[in-house]
Amino acid sequence: MKFGTRARKELEANSNVNADKIIVRKDGTVAVRKVYFYRHGMDSAKWANRVLIALPYAEEVEHADYYRSWPKQSYFEVVIREKQTEAQTA
């Protein structure tokens, strides 16, 4: 099973993540978004950590906080990819 498909299925089944949007990109990365109105102590690094705990075979490419003033939606986004092993990089 491809990384994007596997990651999507596992994130949708994991109640600790609760992603609002999962985007599988053609370049092999997966963007996982969480929409917020109030942060309640959450930030993009904490969101990235939560996603990576749910997917131990993934590594973080980047994470960001996209803040937009109301009425537009603000969201945290983490972009992940499959961990590269030494055999894959050689």
What are 21-65's pLDDT values in tens digits? 999 999 999 999 999 998 888 899 999 999 999 999 999 999 999
Count of residues in the chain: 90
In the chain, domain spans = 3-89
Domain spanning 3-89 has what CATH number? 3.30.1360
pLDDT over 80 (residue 87): no
Could you tell me the two tokens for 37? Answer: 């109105």
CA distance 59 to 49: 10
| Residues in CB range of 62: below 8 A, 6 or more apart | 78, 79
